[in-house]
Structure 1
């Protein structure tokens, strides 16, 4: 059985979302998809639409919440398993909005602590590359690293995915 909080982390296009979806599908027929992406251009709109169609055909209940996933987490049913995809897009939205990032993180973690069901969070590992050349990118990389560390500390299971292959960093797979 999945623990209350599972983190699936990996690089871009590593297969982490597919793996996280599989974990949730195997854990429950009652699945909640908490989507944090925003459509900034036509390519992203098309990608979001394709994901929405695929989830609807597979029995997912979807909540689109780019800024405030905590409300969706606390409102989920006890028999649901939620997939928050992804913490990286949520963080991007927070930084670009220039709001209070610390307050937003506190709200997210409060929502996680009050979620009545199990939660799987997808997040990107961004610290394995070169040091970014601009201040915004460096701020994002630092914030993402801190968020990932905070999430991993709270999680019962942390899995990294590389080239589609899962590797358990913490806990035990169900």
Structure 2
């Protein structure tokens, strides 16, 4: 079981972030004899067969071992509502996208997210994309997204006891304050 109540898993696309995060939460759920909660932040924006296929693959891999809650913008409230069970948030980057496109108060929402994380006594594993390692986006919205994602990742990493970067399916621990 992760000894740290809060873990942030970072990495690029198809790096193995979700699979690693799922394993951590399932281990915590077994240790506490509870069913884990999978908090999905994806919001369908129209016809996107590739994304639909990706979601289906994730669902098939998870099977029935999880309770699924969809929270494209209500992540802080959803985390608080499931404060007594191990949770996986997949992913913070999609949640941020939804907030940006809704023109929601990002700072306030991040503050609420951090407050919800602070009160947890059971593991929460959050997945986020590391978007700052690539090319500079061409558009102002793209650059704002990259910058907001970087700031979000920094704030969540500071609030987590454990931060892991995944590359090629391999975990690299960046921070671990939960180990004796």
> Which segments of 5 or more consecutive residues in structure 1 lack a partner in the other structure?
none
Map 1:1-174 → 2, pairs under 5 A: 1-2=1-2, 3-29=4-30, 30-40=35-45, 41-43=47-49, 44-55=51-62, 57-76=63-82, 78=84, 80-171=85-176
> For 1:59-96, what per-residue CA distance to the aligned partner results, in whole angstroms no more than 9, with x for missing partners?
10111010011122111152x21000000000010001
CA contact (8 A) 1:82 1:118 kept: yes
Q: Which moved more, 1:152-161 or 1:69-78?
A: 69-78
In structure 2, C-alpha distance between the alignment counterparts of 1:37 and 1:63, rounded to whole Å: 11
Helix, strand or coil at the partner of 1:37 = coil
Q: Which moved more, 1:69-78 or 1:85-94?
A: 69-78
CA contact (8 A) 1:76 1:116 kept: no
Q: What is the aligned residue count?
A: 172
Q: RMSD value over aligned CA atoms?
A: 1.8
CA contact (8 A) 1:76 1:117 kept: no
Helix, strand or coil at the partner of 2:126 = strand
Report the CA distance between 1:46 and its aligned residue: 3.8
**Structure 1 outlier segments of 4+, above 4 Å:** none
Report the CA distance between 1:111 and its aligned residue: 1.7
Report the CA distance between 1:38 and its aligned residue: 1.2
> For 1:28-64, what per-residue CA distance to the aligned partner results, in whole angstroms no more than 9, with x for missing partners?
1321101000122232234334433443x24101110
In structure 2, C-alpha distance between the alignment counterparts of 1:60 and 1:38, rounded to whole Å: 19
In structure 2, C-alpha distance between the alignment counterparts of 1:129 and 1:115, rounded to whole Å: 33
CA contact (8 A) 1:73 1:114 kept: no
In structure 2, C-alpha distance between the alignment counterparts of 1:60 and 1:115, rounded to whole Å: 19
In structure 2, C-alpha distance between the alignment counterparts of 1:107 and 1:116, rounded to whole Å: 17
Report the CA distance between 1:4 and its aligned residue: 1.3
